[in-house]
Amino acid sequence: MSHDPEKIIYFGKHSGKTVGEVRSQYLRWLVNQEWFEDSYPDLVEPVEAELDWRDKLNQHF
Amino acid sequence: MLTQSQIKKLSYLNKKIQSCHKCKNLWRNGKAFPYFTKFSQLLAIAEGPGKEEVQEDYQTPLIGKAGRLLFRELGRKEINLKRKDFMILNTVQCRPVIDGKNGKPSLEEIENCKFWTSKYIEIFSPEIIIAFGNYALNYFFEDNLGITKESGFVRHLDNGTKVIPCLHPASLLYSSDNLSLFRHSLKVFKEETIKAHILNSV
């Protein structure tokens, strides 16, 4: 899984921020939405990879 | 499919809308930011966000009970539309509250929010719109139309855009009496998308 924390989120409250800048709570919520994969397929991998990375380093915010 | 330029402009609006304090108190109740994807081709407009939709962080329209019901109905085989096919807006982006519960937006609040809503619609430039409930319907038509009477009929804006009025899915949470009327409107909406060659037929 490629880790790309610089991937830009172009929707919602965090519009314009990178995946790496957004709180884990929101990223977790996103990956649990049944529509996330359909709606933003290009963001699935970066978001999951970022959460994995934060899990490993225990660096959630 | 939305173009990169449209996505850029819509993202910019999402950023700008965060700091909108146009309505005296409404913004304090939280916002839901218009939803769109690069696949969005249809516009769905509802009334205003509810409690679930303005929760810190999530802030997305039609993710509460009514939204789940709506997308379950849209996902049925004969309609076969997904959330990603839509841009979802509300007549007001902040949550109207009365006595601590979800309320109705005032005319002044709707008018204030038109500044944003009209910009989203202009950038998105949809061919077909589905309007959920009286507030969404009367956003486009100033004739004080009734949603039950208008449901399932195709109306036209001056620029030729089609508007299909539909009962608000929240009304079905309390009574399923109007489920067939609701489904009929969705069917009419789907037929219009096929006629316009917007999405593949089922």
Query: What is the residue-averaged pLDDT of chain B?
Result: 94
Q: Which domain holds residue A53?
A: 1-61
Side chain identity at residue B82, one-letter code: K
Q: Is the pLDDT of residue B166 over 60?
A: yes
For B87, what's the count of Cα atoms within 13 Å in the CB-facing half-sphere? 28
Q: Which residue ranges make up each domain of chain B? A: 4-195
Q: Which helix (H) or strand (E) holds B46?
A: strand B42-46
- Judging contacts by C-beta atoms under 8 Å, the chain A residues touching residue B14 are 11-13, 15-16
Q: Do B71 and A35 touch (CB under 8 A)?
A: yes
- Taking only the tens place, the pLDDT of each residue in B47-103 is 999 999 999 878 999 999 999 999 999 999 999 999 999 999 999 999 999 998 999
**Distance to chain B for A57, nearest Cα, Å:** 23
B chain contacts of residue A23, beta-carbon cutoff 8 Å: 57
* pLDDT-based confidence at residue A1 (cuts at 50, 70, 90): low
Let me know: does B91 contact B106? Beta carbons within 8 Å.
no
Pairing state between β B162-166 and B155-156: antiparallel
The pLDDT of residue B202 is: 44
Chain A contact set for B12 (CB, 8 A): 15-16
**pLDDT-above-90 percentage for chain B:** 88
The CATH number of the domain covering residues in B4-195: 3.40.470.10
**B57 with A35: Cβ contact below 8 A:** no
Q: Are the Cβ atoms of A12 and B59 closer than 8 angstroms? A: yes
This prediction has a pTM of 0.92
| Number of residues in chain B | 202
Q: How far apart are CA A35 and CA B159, in angstroms?
A: 32
* Residues A20-49: tens digit of each pLDDT: 999 999 999 999 999 999 999 999 999 999
DSSP H or E run through B23: none
ipTM of predicted assembly, 2 dp: 0.82
Q: Which residues pair with B98 in a beta bridge?
A: B101
Comparing CB atoms, the residue among B31, B58, B82 nearest residue A38 is B82
| Count of domains forming chain A | 1
pLDDT confidence bin for B129, thresholds 50/70/90: very high
* pLDDT greater than 70 at residue B201: no
